[in-house]
Amino acid sequence: MTINIDDKNNENQVEESSRRNFIFGSVAAAGLTIAPGVMLYQTAGARSLSDFSLSEKASSNVRWGMLVDTTKQVDWNKCVEACNKEHGLNNETHSRDDQKTQYIRVVNVKNKGTGYSMSLPVMCQHCENAPCVDVCPTGASMKRADGIVLVDRHRCIGCRYCMMACPYKARSFVHEVLTDQTENTPRGKGCVESCNMCVNRIDNGQLPACVEASEGAIIFGDLNDPQSDISQLLAKHGSRQIRADLKLNPGVHYQGI
């Protein structure tokens, strides 16, 4: 089965039993680069994101995850730019640099002993046992049934305990009044926010912005589906999770770290 993704506007026109057909996590397996207008190939038997729609509740049968291949020569800043554009970030006018929101950042790591260095993108790791969800007093910090960790902006009281609890420094606090937010990311002063795996795009059958911009270096897919490309790649090549010692079981996996 082949699906042609032309552009954002015709996504909903792709039909199969009135569902959209997008394949996630298949890029590396197929050896192709994700970009508008590129043909993607679905692995036989794998569930695709198109099997889920906005009208359905997130299902616990699914666990969305990512696999970041840090060995690929990719400009990770493109992922940062795509994220900033998708969520309307970097629009603070008063905040100092250390007060500005970053959903995804490029971290440079160097082994002092050997001199080996590398870079990798770090965002919310969408932990199975998320400390931010545990500590949130109001339940604003929550994990969806499909494993995506989010902040309910209507419920967040801005206590910032989740930021204290997150071992990945993945969360930011909105330090000022913001205007011109994007429609899908209604950011507001006094609330905590972080990468939501582009839940708005996922629910619309699109890939997260950083995945799309990663030139195939970030694979997105269902970790619960053994047939999905991400699961197959993980089974074949293995992976590491950042601070795996904390046993939080992040949904974001890395190769090459």
Residues that bind another protein (CB under 8 A): 92, 94-102, 105-112, 122, 131, 133-140, 155-161, 163-169, 171-177, 189-192, 242-243, 246, 257
Q: How far is the CB of 35 from another protein (least distance, A)?
A: 26
Q: Which residue, 1 or 177, has its beta carbon nearer to another protein?
A: 177
Q: Which of 53, 52, 73, 69 is closest to 61 using CA atoms?
A: 52
Residue type, 37: G
Taken as a whole, the chain contains a residue count of 257
Q: Which residue, 154 or 236, has its beta carbon nearer to another protein?
A: 154
Strands (E), 92-240: 105-110, 117-122, 141-143, 149-151, 172-173, 192-193, 218-222
Q: Which residue, 170 or 211, has its beta carbon nearer to another protein?
A: 170
Q: Which residue, 17 or 108, has its beta carbon nearer to another protein?
A: 108
Q: How far is the CB of 139 from another protein (least distance, A)?
A: 4
Q: Which residue, 17 or 111, has its beta carbon nearer to another protein?
A: 111
Residue 98 CA, distance from chain mean position: 22
CB contact at 8 A, 104 and 120: no
> For residues 179 and 2, what is the distance between their CA atoms, to the nearest angstrom?
41
Q: How far is the CB of 227 from another protein (least distance, A)?
A: 32
CB contact at 8 A, 92 and 104: no
Contacts within 8 Å (CB) and 24+ apart, 106-115: 106/76, 106/77, 106/80, 109/257
> For residues 187 and 233, what is the distance between their CA atoms, to the nearest angstrom?
35
Q: Which residue, 57 or 112, has its beta carbon nearer to another protein?
A: 112
Q: How far is the CB of 230 from another protein (least distance, A)?
A: 22
Q: How do strand 117-122 and strand 149-151 relate by DSSP bridges?
A: unpaired
Q: How far is the CB of 189 from another protein (least distance, A)?
A: 5
Q: How far is the CB of 78 from another protein (least distance, A)?
A: 14
